[in-house]
């Protein structure tokens, strides 16, 4: 049996969701690729979420942010969001590190306050994003056991 190309694998992961959530995830991913074209996309098809991290390296610890896809929708998670300035109060979460913003559409990413959060998070990364090379799509893990991907 031959392994699927990463793009086909990711398409299959997204296809598990209700059509509206899948469509939103695809459009947000396309928008994030345009916003961070040199970032590597690290994909984790976990128990709870499908996570697509935008990273300066192939290590999860170097992720700037990630799309977290769930049956309820899509959120933009900032790995080090607790340290980001958030005057518009877009970020949720109370942990020591991660914060997230709910995304209703691709227009959410165009909001100036959210665009600033992405830009600041990228600038604060331990390892800067490459200037010219196109980021790679890398399937990092697939959980054997997963919660249902479609809303009940």
Q: What is the pLDDT of residues 77-117, one digit of tens each?
A: 999 999 999 999 999 998 899 999 999 999 999 899 999 99
Cα Rg of the chain (Å, integer): 15
Per the prediction, the chain carries an average pLDDT of 91
pTM of the model: 0.92
């Amino acid at each position: 049996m031959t392994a699927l190309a990463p793009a086909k694998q990711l398409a299959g992961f997204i296809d598990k969701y209700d059509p509206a959530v899948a469509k939103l995830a695809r459009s947000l991913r396309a928008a994030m690729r345009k916003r961070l074209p040199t970032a590597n996309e690290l994909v984790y098809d976990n128990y709870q979420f499908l996570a697509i991290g935008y990273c300066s390296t192939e290590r999860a610890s170097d992720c700037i942010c990630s799309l977290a896809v769930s049956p309820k929708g899509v959120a933009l998670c900032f790995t080090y969001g607790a340290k980001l300035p958030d005057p518009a109060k877009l970020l949720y979460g109370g942990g020591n590190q991660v914060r997230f913003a709910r995304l209703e559409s691709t227009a959410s990413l165009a909001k100036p306050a959210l665009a600033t959060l992405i830009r600041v998070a990228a600038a604060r990364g331990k390892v800067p994003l490459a200037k010219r090379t196109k980021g790679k799509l890398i399937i990092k893990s697939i959980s054997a056991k997963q919660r249902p991907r479609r809303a009940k």
